[in-house]
Amino acid sequence: MMRKIPGLSKLRLIRLAMPATARDRGCSGSAARLCGRASPFQAAQPLWSAAACCRFSAASLLALRPVRGQQAGLKKSGSKLPHSNAIAAFWMMAALGLSVASAATPDECHAFAKHGRREEAHACYQSLAKERDHYLRAEGYWGLGMYQDANNEFREAVAQDDRNANYRVRWGRLMHERFTNVEAEKLFEEALQRDPKNAQAYLGLALVSADGYDSKAVKWADQALTVDPRLAEAHELMASLDLEESNRAEALKQADAALQISPEALDAMAVHAAVEVLEDRSPDQWLGRIRQVNPTYGEGCTIIAHHLLLNYRFEDAVAYYRKAVELDPQLWPARSALGVNLMRLGQEDEARRQLEMCYDNSFRDAATVNTLRLLGSYKNFITFKDGATILRLQKKEAELLRPYF
């Protein structure tokens, strides 16, 4: 029988910061009820069980109060010492090795992901997905790759707080990531109606425009920087846009501005690496800096490959797309681009395998779907090869047209 600890029998919990762990650990009764999960009709369990089932935050420890009575008062002098029972509970849980951590935030989860700490990021996003707040749940589902659930939760969050511009911005970024740019653009515009100085909304519009090589991308990115000159991501986007226009000096200037604001601006490092590759110099210094922050950041190689494509260096681009998916096998945009460009080089079998892998994992943007359809139509063509030239003619017209090529 467990030895009774003085004071614990008189404690109850008012609030817990991490409500979603009880069910996962098989808890029930009052233990799970304290974590906000169990039915009130389940059999009661001692507080010790609740302590083992829940992850307590420092804030929740300060919410411990005596059942009968007396509120744990604060000294008039201003010192904020909690009730002695709360202190006893704190040390009891520390002795048991229980977690004393505050609830996860989206920024914390994103930081884990940015640094390639995938297990921690996954656990962090899982904790968000179990929160009661719709916005936090949306961020959690998004991080877990449960895009439809994230979309539904963003819809609920916006319905509950229509004036919140940031909810619309984040929802728009999800839409942009999932290749629904028309809806993304609408959400960014709605965000600006609610907050005309929302730099992230302007950045969202810039990203949508950049996808279509629209000249408005520069305008929107510049507007984002006017509102918030320290928005590193906008400087990174401007660097990439300048490099697309072969303005390498300005691209490096914008990349350096991003790095001055955030020394871990990975895409800015990737722009530097891309310039080195385009100048036929080694990018190893910049790729090494990227690895120091995130050893699995395949997006850096994707950026290099993108700029190689724009300079018609297809084989080099394919090599960097391969490096990207080696670093991160689930980097579907890079895998899709690899498939598309393998098709350009006449390597249809591998191209089809790469694209089918993307499609089977729910990455179904226009380039992926349309290229698979094109590859599927090859059965209706006759292929002629002559050195580096590949000619495909429709079967019904091949005999008639072949003499002219």
Q: Which domains does the chain carry?
A: 8-69+80-96 (no CATH), 231-328 (1.25.40.10), 331-405 (no CATH)
Written as six digits, the tokens of 342 are 């393998």
3-state secondary structure at position 104: coil
Vertex 364 angle, CA 360 and 368, to 5°: 100
- pLDDT tens-place values along the chain, 405 residues long: 444 334 333 333 333 333 333 333 334 343 333 343 333 333 333 333 333 344 433 333 333 333 333 333 333 334 444 444 444 444 444 444 434 346 799 999 999 999 999 999 999 999 999 999 999 999 999 999 999 999 999 999 999 999 999 999 999 999 999 999 999 999 999 999 999 999 999 999 999 999 999 999 999 999 999 999 999 999 999 999 999 999 999 999 999 999 999 999 999 999 999 999 999 999 999 999 999 999 999 999 999 999 999 999 999 999 999 999 999 999 999 999 999 999 999 899 999 999 999 999 999 999 999 999 999 998 888 888 887 788 888 888 887 887 877
Vertex 71 angle, CA 68 and 76, to 5°: 155
3-state secondary structure at position 316: helix
| Cβ contacts of 364 within 8 Å, gap of 6 or more | 179, 358
131, 153 contact by CB (below 8 A): no
Q: What is the largest CA-CA distance in the chain?
A: 99
**Angstrom distance (rounded) from CA 29 to CA 32:** 6
- Give me Rg for the CA atoms of the chain: 27
**Angstrom distance (rounded) from CA 322 to CA 377:** 26
Q: Give 56's DSSP letter.
A: B
Predicted TM-score (pTM) of the model is 0.74
Location of structure tokens 């690895």: 291
Vertex 9 angle, CA 5 and 11, to 5°: 115
DSSP bridge pairs for 100: 56
Res 102: pLDDT = 61
3-state secondary structure at position 286: helix
DSSP bridge pairs for 383: 392
**Cα dihedral 275, 355, 367, 373 in deg (nearest 10):** 150
Written as six digits, the tokens of 244 are 């697309």
Res 387: pLDDT = 76
Tell which residue, 241, 188, 186, has the closest CA to residue 212: 241
Q: Determine the residue type at 367.
A: A
Q: Which H helix or E strand runs over 341?
A: helix 332-344
User: How many angstroms separate the Cα of 64 from the Cα of each of 83, 96, 123?
Assistant: 8, 18, 27
Where would I find the H helices in 161-231? 165-177, 181-194, 199-211, 216-227
Tell which residue, 226, 216, 148, 161, has the closest CA to residue 185: 216
3-state secondary structure at position 226: helix
3-state secondary structure at position 100: strand
